[in-house]
Amino acid sequence: MDLHAPQIQGFFRIPVDDLYARSYLCDAIRAEGLAAPVVVSPDAGFAKKARMFASCLGAPLAIADKMRSDHSETAHVIDVIGEVDGCDAVLVDDFTISAGTLVEAAEQLVAKGARSVMAAVSHGVFAAGSMQRLDASPIRRLVTTDTIETQPVTLSQKVRVVSVAPLFAEAIRRIHQRESISVLFQS
């Protein structure tokens, strides 16, 4: 589900279908009742997928400008491209481990005038310290799927887990019946 890079499909010797959690996450975002949502990509690399979220939600798109200052995996959000002032910002990404980038982006969004910030990620890996970082952040809700079965940390009250089991079940049924799974992702 939501492979980090499409090239991953090529590493297998059997057919692999990439399933997408977007519709489930968008349903959860809609359930939050945001008055003026703006979808925010945490970096330019996720902008194309974030645009699909924006289209699904009928919302505009903004992009956090992230920069790596050295060869470590540490990145810093330095600006936000797009209008977020007075809006309910929705950060979207494929996964988070430390919640660091999400929190930095959320802080920038609040500094740029966002009324509220929530996040939606397909895979909540959540390493030690991530929940404390999330709890201390301006992110009021983080929606993730149940693709990670066991969590090494106790989830924050801010985290809402959405089940994608029905999507996997339908994909398995369709593959077994030799039916197309592409119909699962038409929007």
If you average pLDDT over residues 152-158, what whole number do you get?
A: 92
Tokens 């925010």 correspond to what residue? 40
Give the residue, 137 or 6, on which the prediction is more confident: 137
At residue 80, the 3 state secondary structure works out as strand
Q: Helices 22-31 and 47-57 meet at what angle, rounded to 10?
A: 50
pLDDT grade, residue 37 (50/70/90)? very high
Residue 64 lies in a domain: yes
In a domain, 6, yes or no: no
Count the domains in the chain: 1
- Classify residue 59 by its DSSP letter: -
pLDDT tens, residue by residue, 47-88? 999 999 999 999 999 999 877 666 665 666 778 899 999 999
Q: Is 60 exposed, middle or buried (0-12, 13-18, 19+ CB in 10 A)?
A: middle
Closest CA to 119 of 133, 148, 99: 99
**What are the tokens at 140?**
């009021």
Domain assignment present for 27: yes
Using alpha carbons only, give the angle 1, 93, 134 rounded to the nearest 5 degrees: 115
What does the pLDDT average to over 33-44? Answer: 95
Mean per-residue pLDDT, 126-152: 93
- Domain holding 81, by residue range, is 20-161
Do the domain assignments include residue 117? yes
Instruction: Answer whether residue 60 is part of any domain.
Output: yes
Is 63 within 8 Å of 47 (Cβ atoms)? yes
The CATH number linked to 37 is 3.40.50.2020
Confidence (pLDDT) at 6: 74
Give the pLDDT band (50/70/90) at residue 111: very high
CA distances (Å), 9 to each of 107, 147, 165, in order? 35, 18, 21
Helices and strands of the chain, counted as H and E runs = 5, 7
pLDDT digits (tens, 9 = 90+) for 68-79: 666 665 666 778
The model's pTM: 0.90
* Per-residue model confidence (pLDDT) at position 79: 83
Give the catalytic positions in this structure: 66
Task: Answer whether residue 131 shows pLDDT above 80.
Answer: yes
Q: What pLDDT is stored for residue 68 in this prediction? A: 64
* pLDDT of 187: 55
E-state strands within 37-146: 37-41, 61-67, 76-81, 88-96, 116-124, 139-145
Residue 73 lies in a domain: yes
Residue 33 predicted with pLDDT over 90: yes
Residue 68 lies in a domain: yes
Q: Is residue 62 part of a domain?
A: yes
Alpha-carbon distances of 15 from 12, 20, 54, 84, 139, rounded to whole Å: 7, 16, 30, 41, 38
